[in-house]
Structure 1
Amino acid sequence: MVKKVSKSSNASSATKASGQSALSGAIKDSAQQIWLAGLGAFSKAQAEGGKAFETLVKEGLSIQRKTQAVAEERISEATSRVSSMANDISSKAAGKWDKLESLFEERVAKALGTLGVPTARDIEALMARIDELNAHVAQLTGQAPARKRAAAKPAARPAAKAAVKVAAKPAAKAPARKRAAAKSAKSTPAA
């Protein structure tokens, strides 16, 4: 019996060995096919990969151009908005500055007028009047007229006379008005 068992175990060993060799052969064949499929895919990817890469580069370039165009448009819009706001602000500031300057000049002129300080126009008008009077005196005495001042202009004489009269009247009347107002305030009984 031992002999029979050993014969049958040898037969089953041979069957197992042939089954294993068939299985290992199938695995080797399958591995070989997988390897070859991978090499084919790699080769195809190399061949088409260059084309795909170039296509992707072209698409990326077109997208970059579009985004740059949109960004430049937005930048130009923002720049125009900022420049218009800056122009508005500067014009408003200039207007306010001019208003402030004119207000300051008016107040200074009013203060100087209250103090009785003559303006440059008043002095020019007086100089022109002095020149006229000198010429008239020279004409009456028969002497040669004294030389005229450079500031006096013949066309400006009528305006200068009016300016002298206008400038002289408020300066002379201001104290009189104050005195009259003070007298009327004293004489009027309080209610």
Structure 2
Amino acid sequence: MTKNIKELEQEEEELSQAVRSSAQQIWQAGLGAFAKAQQEGGREFTRLVRDGSELQKRARSVEDATDTVARKAERSSRRASSTWGKLEQVFEERVARALATIGVPARSEMEALNHRIDELERMLAELAGEHLRQAARKKPAAKAAAKKPAAKRTAPKRGAAE
């Protein structure tokens, strides 16, 4: 049942031979790949350079197109903002005319009225202050007149004349 030593040695030798053969094949495959890469490497390098040049040309054309689009977008944006400004001005003018037609006062008219009201309030305050000063001057004269004793009337006594 046990294998003898010769059989084990023989199996070991076969296994070793199979490993050597496999390693030899791997080495030869590597050398073949290296040789093929050297042969095709020059052609492959040339193809890669050509592909890179084409890609660079496409990238430049995309960059140029992007710059062109950006410039046109900027011009359009400026035109649009100018157009919106004009549209806003026309709208404001029409609204102001419509409000004036129905009798709504303009902002400038309201500001002038507010200014006039402030001026009138100031004048009223000055007049009220003047009136209070005059009233204060009249009060001491009224108090002096009130201090003079009034003539006493005496009523006849009862009982003395009877």
- TM-score when normalising by structure 1: 0.46
> Whose relative contact order is higher, 1 or 2, with alpha carbons under 8 Å and at least 6 apart?
1
Task: Tell me how far apart the structure 2 counterparts of residues 132 and 56 of structure 1 sit (CA, whole Å).
Answer: 97
**Which string of whole-angstrom CA distances, capped at 9 and with x for unpartnered residues, describes residues 92-121 of structure 1?**
222112111111111111121222211233
Of residues 101, 107, 115, the one that matches 1:114 is 101
Counterpart of 1:120 in structure 2: which amino acid?
R
Please give the root-mean-square deviation of Cα atoms over the aligned residues, in Å. 2.3
Of residues 65, 71, 76, the one that matches 2:58 is 71
1:1-191 to 2 correspondences below 5 Å: 49-142=36-129
Q: Gapped runs of 5+ residues in structure 1?
A: 1-44, 144-191
Counterpart of 2:90 in structure 1: which amino acid?
L
- CA separation of 1:123/1:72 partners in 2, compared to 1, >3 Å: closer, same or farther? same
Query: How big is the shift at 1:140?
Result: 2.2
**Which string of whole-angstrom CA distances, capped at 9 and with x for unpartnered residues, describes residues 42-79 of structure 1?**
xxx98864323111121122112212211111111100
Task: Tell me how far apart the structure 2 counterparts of residues 93 and 101 of structure 1 sit (CA, whole Å).
Answer: 12
Task: Tell me how far apart the structure 2 counterparts of residues 46 and 142 of structure 1 sit (CA, whole Å).
Answer: 115
Q: 1:174 is matched with which residue?
A: none
Task: Tell me how far apart the structure 1 counterparts of residues 120 and 47 of structure 2 sit (CA, whole Å).
Answer: 92
Task: Tell me how far apart the structure 2 counterparts of residues 69 and 129 of structure 1 sit (CA, whole Å).
Answer: 75
How many residue pairs are counted as aligned between the two chains? 99
What secondary structure does 1:116 align onto? coil
Task: Tell me how far apart the structure 1 counterparts of residues 126 and 88 of structure 2 sit (CA, whole Å).
Answer: 46
Structure exhibiting the larger radius of gyration computed from Cα positions: 2
Identity percentage over the alignment? 34
- CA separation of 1:106/1:68 partners in 2, compared to 1, >3 Å: closer, same or farther? same
- CA separation of 1:119/1:67 partners in 2, compared to 1, >3 Å: closer, same or farther? same
- CA separation of 1:46/1:103 partners in 2, compared to 1, >3 Å: closer, same or farther? closer
